[in-house]
Amino acid sequence: MKNKDIFDKITKDFLNYLSSLGISPKSFKNYKSDISHFTGWLIFKAKTWGVLAETLTDTIPFLNKDLAFEYKEYLLENKIAAKTVNRRLSTLRHLADFFLVSQILDFDFMEGVVNVSSQNLDIKRGKYQYLIQGFTDHLISQKASPNTIKNYLSDIKHFIFWLEEKEQAHA
């Protein structure tokens, strides 16, 4: 799929919304790249659920707060720089605002998703790694299927990121 294929009407309207905010050309270029990245991730995610999705519009019914946290987790797991993670989260906050203002959604799917701290990012990435690896080894020793292992680890990682979000929100 080419990027131009995923820039549907809602994406174009969102980009026009960003332009109306008077952001710099460089920020606009980054936000455009970020929305393309998120849309591609979300379309892929929807397809794993058996949903035929090709545009951001196709995925809107599936947007929820859990997906926002999962996207952040995906970025962190792939060792994206904290500055880039935070910029992408900023883009999604603008998208959530746009959806609310345009009445496309009646809730803020980014509510509670906070930025990462670059100084704490490496600590957080390794903080629970030894526990996750130990649990992985245990599941393998119990002859759990690869799919079961993947699902359990995904659930644990979601919980850890949720816990860290709560800790950061109360700090």
- pTM, whole model, 2 decimals? 0.69
Distance of alpha carbon 124 from alpha carbon 103, whole angstroms: 36
- Band (pLDDT 50/70/90 cuts) for residue 106 is very high
pLDDT at 137: 78
> In this structure, which topology does domain 3-114 adopt according to CATH?
DNA polymerase; domain 1 (1.10.150)
Among 55-64, 83-92, 121-130, 132-141, name the one with the lowest average pLDDT: 121-130
Q: Kindly list the domain boundaries of the chain, sorted by start residue.
A: 3-114, 128-171
pLDDT at 1: 42
- Alpha carbon of residue 161 to chain centroid: 12
